[in-house]
Structure formats: structure tokens, C-alpha cells
């Protein structure tokens, strides 16, 4: 949970609902249409990736949908993100499901995009428009 709070502090665009986070984490840990991969151990968790098994919005087919891939700031070099991405790819290979994974962040975005680009084929871009931020800048 501490990593999830840190993730929100770094990248959160909306208020944190910790109970909602607990629900998703518990669901994944129980193997209920999700999985969590970690780097480190229970006493020294360095990073985690959370993947849901989710229907494609226009199909009955399922996909692996990454919710987050986050490494504790003290463990980003050498990269702990690489084994988490490899874990996600292994999940896709083992299940035969497509993996949708990406970078939705404004912090060190270029470095993250380069890392993902070295490990995965690119398929599009994300853009986020926030009316609240737009009004504050005006």
C-alpha cells in the first residue's frame, strides 16, 4: 500500500481513494482477474506492477491491462522496471492475451517512454486534458 500511496503522490491526477486501491490490490492478490508482480520481498518491496484481466471494450475477448508499474525512488537505478515489464510480457505469453501497458506520467516521461520502447512495440500515444488544470493556468 505504501508504494501505491507513493505512486499517487508522484503521478496522481485525482484524489486518492485508499479503500478503492485496497479493493483492487486484494482482488489481484486473491487471483480474481488480476495479478501483481513485485521486485524485492515483503520487508523490502522495491517495485510492483498491477495487471487486470479485463474485457476489450468492443469485444468479448480479454486482455491484460496494466494499472501501474511503479518502482520506489530509491531503487530506480539500476532499473527495477525492466523485470516488471518482463513479468507482464511473460503473463501475456503464458495466457495468450494481449498486454496493454503504457506510460501516463509527466515525471521523467521521456526516460520511461524510451525504456518501454526498447522492450515493447509501440501502438499509439496518450493525451490527457484536464479542465481544472486548464482553468488554473488561464
Domains present along the chain, CATH in parentheses: 2-137 (3.40.630.30)
| pLDDT for 84 | 94
Which of 31, 137, 115 has the alpha carbon at shortest distance from 71? 115
Beta strands, E only, the chain: 34-41, 44-55, 62-71, 98-100
The per-residue pLDDT string of the chain (138 residues; one tens digit each, 9 = 90 and over) reads 888 888 888 877 789 999 999 999 999 999 899 999 999 888 888 999 999 999 999 999 999 999 999 888 888 877 788 999 999 999 999 999 999 998 776 667 777 888 888 888 888 877 777 787 665 555
Burial pattern 121-132, b for ≥16 Cβ within 10 A else e, equals eeeeeeeeeeee
For residue 115, give the nearest of 137, 82, 90, 88 by alpha carbon. 82
Helix (H, G, I), strand (E, B) or coil at 41: strand
Amino acid at each position: 500500500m505504501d508504494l501505491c500511496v507513493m505512486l499517487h503522490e508522484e503521478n496522481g491526477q485525482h484524489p486518492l481513494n485508499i479503500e478503492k486501491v485496497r479493493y483492487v490490490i486484494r482482488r489481484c492478490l486473491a487471483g480474481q482477474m488480476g495479478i501483481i508482480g513485485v521486485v524485492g520481498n515483503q520487508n523490502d518491496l522495491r517495485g510492483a506492477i498491477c495487471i487486470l484481466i479485463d474485457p476489450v471494450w468492443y469485444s468479448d475477448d480479454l486482455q491484460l491491462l496494466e494499472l501501474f508499474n511503479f518502482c520506489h525512488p530509491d531503487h530506480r537505478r539500476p532499473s527495477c522496471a525492466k523485470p516488471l515489464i518482463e513479468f507482464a510480457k511473460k503473463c501475456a505469453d503464458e495466457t495468450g492475451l494481449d498486454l496493454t501497458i503504457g506510460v501516463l506520467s509527466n515525471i521523467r516521461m521521456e526516460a520511461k517512454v524510451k525504456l518501454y520502447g526498447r522492450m515493447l512495440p509501440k501502438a499509439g500515444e496518450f493525451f490527457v486534458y484536464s479542465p481544472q488544470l486548464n482553468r488554473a493556468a488561464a
